[in-house]
Structure 1
Amino acid sequence: MENNYTMVAKTLFGFEDLLERELLQLGAMHIKKGVRNVSFEGDLGFMYKCNLALRTAIKILKPIKTFKVKDEQDLYDQVYKMSWEKYMKSSGTLAVDATVHSEKFTHSKYVALKTKDAIVDKFRDTTGERPNVDLRFPDLKINVHIDRNTCTISLDSSGESLHRRGYKTATNIAPINEVLAAGLVMLSGWDGQCDFMDPMCGSGTILAEAAMIACNIPPNLMRKEFAFERWQDWDVDLFEKIEESLLNKTRDFHHKIIGYDTAPSAVAKAKDNVKNAHLEEFISIERQDFFTTEKAGDHKLHILFNPPYGERLDIDMESFYKSIGDTLKQGYPGTDAWFITSNLEALKHVGLRPSRKIHVFNAKLESRLVKYVMYEGSKKAKYQDD
């Protein structure tokens, strides 16, 4: 397949296996897992597909040049030599960002500046016209990655981070990132075959991601723009064909997705976001205090939530986490309950033994995704109480 090329999908720490599985299911070739990234091969249409359909990717990069680099001047010279006219016009706009893991290159902003200077100077020297910098909506977004003395120059096909799905207009304090929410739903093993509940739903991110997973709805349909739409090889017909083929793979969902929150403002925001995502038919949100609720009916229930860690609410952690355990024990038999927390001390007060603990990060906070299996009847007391 001569039209295939290598791409790199970036992700959150701990989500590499999820992303690898997603890429495999989409039909990627030559998949290789890294740290916070997975590389793979595909063609132009597949790049469009990845941006639309991957739930755990933050960016899709297209590497165009890799070379050894000695110092800043060497970087400038090598970038200057590249054929930038293939990727943009001299009248266009660009933005450069850089990540560096190197003893020689210690300042990512300076690396980005030198790269930008080399591209701009090349155009000015060859055409007499220079591109301008536009950090918000550039025609070409360029990523520079230096690892020790190896430099990779890539085109950023996504633009704004893919966690910005486009459905969230309203958020609460410390909202959970959409990619993190989708990854947690996937890590928890929920497959849309039973009811789902987020008892502390905030602005509704976990609910929206769970609904899209259940119905196999591509997560990034609502986005206003991808960076590749400004590329010289932008193929709108191909993009629309890919979009249509993904929409044809959506599936029916025959269970309920329920959200609770005690704050009226959170309930209103969550309802707005769910409406923006066109997911109202799958999700119901109520103002409820989880600690006063119990499970309705005897069907299986899958719970996933992001309780306060102390960073965002002034609460008594010990009694709060004890109440989580008590509510699950007394009111939710036949339930798989998962939640994420960075407060590892508070976990001791839940009073239940987790059946799984998965190491994840919420932004920069080292966290655990924990699972509690609430059995029906006497097993519940036998296996759960310490």
Structure 2
Amino acid sequence: MIFYSTIVPGLEFVAADEIKNKRLGKVIEIREGKGRVFYKSDFNRIPLLNYFLRSVERIVLILGRGRVETLEDVYRIVKEIDFSFINPKWSFAIRSNRVGEHNFTSIDISRVAGSAVIDSYKKSRGVRLRVNLDEPDVIIRCDLVDDDFIVGLDTTGDEGLHKRNYRVYQHPAPLNPTIAAALVYLSGWTHERSLLDPMCGSGTILFEAGMIARNTPICRFRRDFAFKKFINGDCEFKEREVELNLYGVEKFRKHVEGAEKIAEFINMDVRFMQGEAERIDEYFNEIDYIITNPPYGLRIGRKKIIERLYSSFLKAASKIVRERVVAITAETKIFEKYAKEFFDIRKFNVRYGGLMTRVFVCD
């Protein structure tokens, strides 16, 4: 069977490596910059894919694929799919996504595809499937990118896998956990080494690192997955017992307390302290890895503040880091300007929401 996963655009290669390294599938196509990775896997691995892929947003089983120019093509491709696996008592909904120039909208795709599902099901099962747009039992994804049309069964649900459900404290600007996990993978960090986030906010990067090291599945804190309607995928797992050397520095006391609250909730030993990223060389003699999501100066008045922060932080980091620094920021020119003074850098463009950011790997 062929699946695709959605990913924050720019981090597709990280997700592909995770799929391969965890032996959950054979990658067959990476759509760089498009937020899609295609791979072969087994139906019975659907629970594992949802539980253990930490860098992806969604797992979709492909049901049909074809070239589309008109809505008639949409109807034809969808109607040819056998939907008889759906229980006649269940409801369904179409979720459409369209990229490119077309003379119809995503709403049109949903309408036509929905009619095709109903007609196909009536032909095979003799009954009409119910539509429920708010809380469907089954979600059918219809993705049209230029003329490439993919119909798939959403095994994750309307809430993507970034909804981990362990953040009992809500930071005003939290980092997407799938990005946090991707940064950890990019860094090459392992649990034997020390890890510092000097601008840690509520600690997402550190918590994701710890869960990767302990092999904690997403289902430990989240129980709602779409596939549970058609697969008995009870969450059985055994975490690894590993010693962690995780450190977080945060400027604001309320965020330190919030991060400590999360650490207690997930039972993870992370050492948090209130402090400034510019002074980490005063707090630590040496650290193996630094991974962080520094603030962005989106308002012009903050540009000089951001420049001073980045300059001082990178200088301090260069004095204590033994392996590398990994950071994601929208202030790409400022970060690169000062990172070059102390490190050899690699960089990757990442579209985070509607913002173009860049991940820097500094050795």
Same fold (TM over 0.5): yes
The answer to whether the 8 A contact 1:323-1:350 is kept is: no
1:179-225 per-position Cα deviation (integer Å, ceiling 9, x unaligned) = 00000111111112211111111121101111112222224432121
Equivalent residue number for residue 241 of structure 2: 252
Equivalent residue number for residue 366 of structure 1: 356
The answer to whether the 8 A contact 1:16-1:33 is kept is: no
1:288 pairs with 2:275: yes
1:18 pairs with 2:6: no
Equivalent residue number for residue 139 of structure 1: 137
Cα distance in 2 between the residues matched to 1:358 and 1:129: 52
Equivalent residue number for residue 318 of structure 1: 307
Equivalent residue number for residue 84 of structure 2: 85
Identity %: 23
Give the secondary-structure state (helix, strand or coil) at the position aligned to 1:12. Answer: coil
Cα distance in 1 between the residues matched to 2:120 and 2:30: 33
The answer to whether the 8 A contact 1:352-1:372 is kept is: no
* Residue 169 to residue 106, structure 1, CA distance change in 2 (3 Å): farther
Cα distance in 1 between the residues matched to 2:80 and 2:4: 23
1:346 pairs with 2:346: no
1:142-172 per-position Cα deviation (integer Å, ceiling 9, x unaligned) = 1112244442211000112111112124332
Equivalent residue number for residue 5 of structure 2: 9
* Residue 311 to residue 272, structure 1, CA distance change in 2 (3 Å): farther
1:274 pairs with 2:272: no
* Residue 145 to residue 252, structure 1, CA distance change in 2 (3 Å): same
Give the secondary-structure state (helix, strand or coil) at the position aligned to 2:357. Answer: strand
The partner residue of 2:346 within 327, 349, 357 is 357
CA RMSD of aligned residues (A): 2.7
Equivalent residue number for residue 294 of structure 2: 307
Q: What pairs with 1:110-121 in structure 2 (closer than 5 Å)?
A: 110-120=108-118
Larger radius of gyration: 1
Cα distance in 1 between the residues matched to 2:180 and 2:38: 22
Cα distance in 2 between the residues matched to 1:29 and 1:292: 44
Equivalent residue number for residue 206 of structure 1: 205
Letter in 1 for 2:3: M
Cα distance in 1 between the residues matched to 2:164 and 2:355: 22
Q: What pairs with 1:207-226 in structure 2 (closer than 5 Å)?
A: 207-226=206-225
* Residue 335 to residue 95, structure 1, CA distance change in 2 (3 Å): same
Equivalent residue number for residue 156 of structure 2: 158
**What's the offset of the Cα at 1:37?**
2.3
Cα distance in 2 between the residues matched to 1:224 and 1:292: 41
Cα distance in 1 between the residues matched to 2:97 and 2:90: 24
**What's the offset of the Cα at 1:328?**
2.5
**What's the offset of the Cα at 1:108?**
1.7
The partner residue of 1:263 within 240, 252, 259 is 252
* Residue 79 to residue 71, structure 1, CA distance change in 2 (3 Å): same
Cα distance in 1 between the residues matched to 2:362 and 2:97: 39
The answer to whether the 8 A contact 2:19-2:53 is kept is: yes
Letter in 1 for 2:92: L
Gaps of 5+ in 2: none
Cα distance in 2 between the residues matched to 1:298 and 1:321: 20
Give the secondary-structure state (helix, strand or coil) at the position aligned to 2:326. Answer: strand
Equivalent residue number for residue 377 of structure 1: none
1:102-160 per-position Cα deviation (integer Å, ceiling 9, x unaligned) = 5445522221222123334566787565403233x321011112244442211000112
When normalised by structure 1's length, the TM-score is 0.82
Letter in 2 for 1:199: P
Give the secondary-structure state (helix, strand or coil) at the position aligned to 2:195. Answer: strand
The answer to whether the 8 A contact 2:339-2:362 is kept is: no
Cα distance in 1 between the residues matched to 2:276 and 2:192: 26
**What's the offset of the Cα at 1:309?**
0.9
**What's the offset of the Cα at 1:321?**
1.7
The answer to whether the 8 A contact 2:28-2:40 is kept is: no
Give the secondary-structure state (helix, strand or coil) at the position aligned to 1:84. Answer: coil
* Residue 337 to residue 101, structure 1, CA distance change in 2 (3 Å): closer
1:26-74 per-position Cα deviation (integer Å, ceiling 9, x unaligned) = 3345421321322222222211111100111111111112234442134
* Residue 360 to residue 176, structure 1, CA distance change in 2 (3 Å): farther
Gaps of 5+ in 1: 374-386
Letter in 2 for 1:139: D
* Residue 218 to residue 170, structure 1, CA distance change in 2 (3 Å): same
Cα distance in 1 between the residues matched to 2:46 and 2:80: 26
Letter in 1 for 2:250: D
The answer to whether the 8 A contact 1:30-1:41 is kept is: yes
Matched residues, number: 354
Cα distance in 1 between the residues matched to 2:224 and 2:331: 37
When normalised by structure 2's length, the TM-score is 0.86
Give the secondary-structure state (helix, strand or coil) at the position aligned to 2:333. Answer: helix
